[in-house]
């Protein structure tokens, strides 16, 4: 389900909210002036040298230049949006859509897409990997022609000098497979493969991979940020040493906090989260969906999360109250403190019980009822006790929607400070 938020600008700019499990993510339609630049530059596929293509996961398949924007256009775009701590925009940017090989949850190799944005400067001091929030529409993924969210984050991050890398995830963008929603293993492998593909293209452009490497993400992307950081630090990946991370309103404890909160139906988005999650996990774990959902919902829900179904059709397939989609016997089992395959999966895909090595800032809105502030506060307290350099940062009296615009620029300013110190 998509919500539309009106923002008064010179060009009647619109904010398009993409619902997120644990946080509402915001997609921004681009002001008319930027769309003119976009159309003027055009979109065209570039030749990919044979030495950086291949059949392995992480290998490039194709590269398309999808936009080139001068500094003035970026400054204007960001001026139309009320951002906190707006980064200094000193560079024009070039945006590329990358197609690359990766692996789906069932072991099959698929082709995924993502966005690479490069600031127009000879030396690249840093890279930011950005993970977007819950998205039910493949056409609004970061690398897609609308470039709402992708361009906004590119303007703030690459316009201030950082390289930006943003995977679309499997099932979104140019990928038509099942989206493995909040499934940690595939989220990690797909994201790291995107990093490899982006690294190859940067080297082809004549750039050296910078020492400063940051991760940030909102809601589902906050969950992805922690999952990718955990994997890179666990394996001591020599290609991608994490400097710092900024997870934003992520569902880190899916079983203990995210799931019970979604069951409340406190927001209109909760039934969407649970429909997305249950249908994805049933496919991934090879379990019958009607073992946890009522038969009618078990049949109706999976087809509407195909990346193309309209929000109206998706809304019609979902109940008004999240609890209504579940079998009474499942709810009784859950409330009695017992477990089954779905509840085990929620725990397995939580990203709470580990200790980050790189510094972490967790951003949250005090009034967020999609992803409770407790997610960030509990994670910060627990991980700090284990010795992590981690801080939970309140964004003030903001809800789910507003947190995106507040947290992103704050994180970028922090990353810029750290990159300058290296």
Provide the CATH number for the domain around residue 331: 1.10.260.160
Find the mean pLDDT for residues 342-349: 98
- The reported pLDDT for the residue numbered 81 is 76
- How do strand 360-364 and strand 244-248 relate by DSSP bridges? parallel
Q: Which domain holds residue 288?
A: 254-348
Burial class (CB in 10 A: 0-12, 13-18, 19+), 235: exposed
Total number of domains constituting the chain: 2
- Let me know whether 51 and 117 are in one domain: yes
- Let me know whether 49 and 29 are in one domain: yes
Mean pLDDT, the chain, rounded, equals 89
- The reported pLDDT for the residue numbered 18 is 31
- The reported pLDDT for the residue numbered 23 is 31
- The reported pLDDT for the residue numbered 32 is 52
Q: Quote the CA–CA distance of 63 and 228 in Å, as a whole number.
A: 24
- Which range, of 15-19, 165-169, 402-406, averages the lowest pLDDT? 15-19
- Let me know whether 64 and 195 are in one domain: yes
- How do strand 163-167 and strand 109-119 relate by DSSP bridges? antiparallel
Q: Quote the CA–CA distance of 112 and 104 in Å, as a whole number.
A: 10
- Let me know whether 231 and 307 are in one domain: no
CA-based Rg of the chain, rounded to a whole angstrom?
A: 20
- Let me know whether 141 and 283 are in one domain: no
Q: Quote the CA–CA distance of 314 and 42 in Å, as a whole number.
A: 33
- Let me know whether 187 and 314 are in one domain: no
- The reported pLDDT for the residue numbered 100 is 98
**200 token code pair:** 């190859």
Q: Quote the CA–CA distance of 91 and 207 in Å, as a whole number.
A: 16
**299 token code pair:** 């049949």
CA-nearest of 144, 95, 89, 129 to 209 is: 129
pLDDT tens-digit profile of 242-256?
A: 999 999 999 999 999
Find the mean pLDDT for residues 127-137: 95
Find the mean pLDDT for residues 21-47: 53
Q: Which of 323, 348, 373 is the last residue of a domain?
A: 348
- The reported pLDDT for the residue numbered 41 is 60
- Let me know whether 173 and 218 are in one domain: yes
Find the mean pLDDT for residues 270-292: 97
Predicted structure pTM score: 0.91
pLDDT band at 111 (very low <50, low <70, confident <90, very high): very high
Q: 175 to each of 102, 111, 113, 309, how far by Cα in Å?
A: 11, 6, 7, 15
Q: Quote the CA–CA distance of 293 and 303 in Å, as a whole number.
A: 15
- The reported pLDDT for the residue numbered 20 is 33
Q: Quote the CA–CA distance of 134 and 172 in Å, as a whole number.
A: 11
Q: 243 to each of 213, 225, 362, how far by Cα in Å?
A: 5, 13, 15
Residue 33 confidence (pLDDT) above 60? no
- Let me know whether 201 and 263 are in one domain: no
Query: What's the CATH number where 57 sits?
Result: 3.40.50.1820
- Let me know whether 295 and 322 are in one domain: yes
Q: Which of 295, 329, 348 is the last residue of a domain?
A: 348
- Let me know whether 209 and 149 are in one domain: yes
Residue 306 confidence (pLDDT) above 80? yes
For residues 167 and 194, is the Cβ–Cβ distance under 8 A? yes
For residues 351 and 224, is the Cβ–Cβ distance under 8 A? no
Q: Which of 322, 348, 374 is the last residue of a domain?
A: 348
- Let me know whether 146 and 160 are in one domain: yes
- Let me know whether 243 and 262 are in one domain: no
pLDDT tens-digit profile of 148-183?
A: 788 889 999 999 999 999 999 999 999 999 999 999
């Amino acid at each position: 389900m998509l919500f539309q938020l009106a923002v008064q600008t010179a060009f009647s700019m619109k904010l398009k909210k993409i619902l997120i499990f644990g946080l509402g993510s915001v997609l921004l339609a681009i002001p008319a002036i930027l769309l003119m630049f976009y159309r003027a530059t055009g979109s065209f596929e570039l030749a990919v040298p044979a030495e950086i293509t291949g059949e392995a996961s992480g290998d490039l398949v194709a590269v398309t230049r999808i936009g080139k924007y001068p500094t003035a256009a970026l400054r204007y775009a960001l001026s139309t949006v009320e951002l906190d701590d707006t980064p200094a925009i000193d560079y024009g940017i070039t945006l590329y859509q990358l197609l690359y090989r990766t692996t789906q949850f069932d072991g099959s190799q698929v082709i995924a897409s993502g966005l690479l944005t490069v600031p127009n400067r000879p030396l690249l001091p840093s890279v930011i990997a950005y993970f977007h929030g819950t998205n039910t529409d493949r056409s609004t993924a970061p690398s897609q022609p609308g470039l709402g969210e992708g361009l906004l984050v590119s303007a703030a991050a690459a316009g201030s000098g950082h390289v930006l890398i943003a995977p679309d995830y499997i099932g979104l963008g140019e990928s038509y497979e099942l989206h493995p929603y909040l499934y940690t293993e595939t989220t990690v492998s797909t994201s790291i493969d995107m990093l490899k593909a982006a690294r190859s293209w940067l080297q082809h452009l004549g750039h050296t991979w910078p020492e400063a490497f940051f991760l940030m993400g909102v809601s589902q992307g906050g969950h992805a940020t922690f999952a990718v950081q955990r994997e890179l630090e666990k394996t001591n990946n020599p290609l991608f040493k994490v400097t710092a991370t900024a997870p934003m309103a992520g569902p880190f404890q899916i079983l203990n906090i995210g799931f019970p909160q979604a069951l409340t139906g406190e927001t209109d988005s909760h039934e969407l989260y649970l429909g997305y999650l249950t249908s994805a996990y049933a496919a991934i774990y090879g379990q019958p969906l009607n073992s946890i959902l009522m038969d009618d919902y078990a049949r109706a829900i999976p087809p509407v999360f195909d990346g193309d179904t309209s929000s109206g059709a998706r809304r019609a397939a979902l109940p008004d109250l999240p609890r209504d989609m579940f079998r009474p016997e499942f709810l009784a089992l859950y409330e009695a403190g017992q477990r089954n395959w779905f509840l085990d999966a929620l725990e397995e895909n939580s990203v709470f019980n580990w200790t980050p090595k790189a510094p972490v800032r967790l951003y949250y809105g005090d009034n967020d009822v999609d992803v409770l502030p407790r997610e960030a506060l509990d994670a910060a307290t627990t991980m700090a006790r284990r010795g992590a350099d981690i801080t939970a940062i309140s964004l003030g009296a903001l809800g789910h929607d507003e947190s995106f615009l507040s947290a992103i620029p704050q994180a970028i300013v922090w990353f810029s400070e750290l990159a300058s110190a290296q």
